[in-house]
Amino acid sequence: MKLFVASHNAHKLREIGEILPGFEIIAEDSGVEETGTTFAENAFIKVEAISEKHKGEWCMADDSGLEVSALNGEPGVYSARYAGEPCNTPRNNALLLKNMEGIKDRSAQFTCAIALIDPDGKKHLAVGHSKGQIALSESGSAGFGYDPLFIPDGYALSFADLSADEKNAISHRGRALAEVRKIMVK
Ligand code: IMP
């Protein structure tokens, strides 16, 4: 069965393929702006756009980001463009560290919202969270984005210090995809 995914991120597409064996994963451009104020809203904006082109097929879109308690949930839906457009990871991470200078409460969570439209046109939402702390400095070279600054609860290492399998087992995206699997694989 085909699954159209509103992303060209090779990392995400591979992860989706691993968790949904048997589906032919096809990357598709949503061509829309992420104008929502929540992760779920942005995911639905994207999945509705691709579903218009692929009626009668499974379609999926995700939106994710980091919410820091002491920064009132920032960067949130603006995680990719925290330090301005286009997305620049070193600048985003440097800005996050600067904004966290002198702050004791370093609690944060990653959220991933995955919106699905099934072949009957019915909408589904799967959400996953991963809670942790913002580190005082970057560590590790695996992963992407804020990974070197995020220490998941129960670990002394950052997401970027973990292997892909270790991260997937506890990550927001891994958890949301596990929910997706329950919806798609009956
Ligand atoms: P998007 O869901 O690809 O739009 O992700 C938005 C942004 O959130 C990314 O550019 C990263 O900055 C951040 N982000 C989302 N998931 C992760 C993750 O697993 N690790 C690190 N950063 C992430």
Domains and CATH numbers, the chain: 2-184 (3.90.950.10)
Percent of the chain having pLDDT more than 90? 87
Q: Tell me the pTM.
A: 0.94
Closest-CA residue, ligand 1 atom 8, reads 65
Pocket test of ligand 1: the residue of 11, 47, 63, 64 to mutate, having most ligand atoms within 8 Å of its CB, is 64
pLDDT, average across residues 101-129: 98
State the catalytic residues.
Answer: 63
Looking at every residue in the chain, the average pLDDT score rounds to: 95
What pLDDT score was predicted for residue 79? 97
Query: How many angstroms is it from 130 CA to the middle of ligand 1?
Result: 12
- What would the pLDDT profile of 136-159 be if each residue is shown by its tens digit? 999 999 989 999 999 999 999 999
- 145 touches ligand 1 (CB under 6 Å): yes
- 11 touches ligand 1 (CB under 6 Å): no
- What would the pLDDT profile of 39-49 be if each residue is shown by its tens digit? 999 999 999 99
What pLDDT score was predicted for residue 130? 98
Residue 186 pLDDT exceeds 80? no
pLDDT, average across residues 85-100: 96
Cβ-based neighbours of 122, under 8 Å, separated by 6 or more:
none
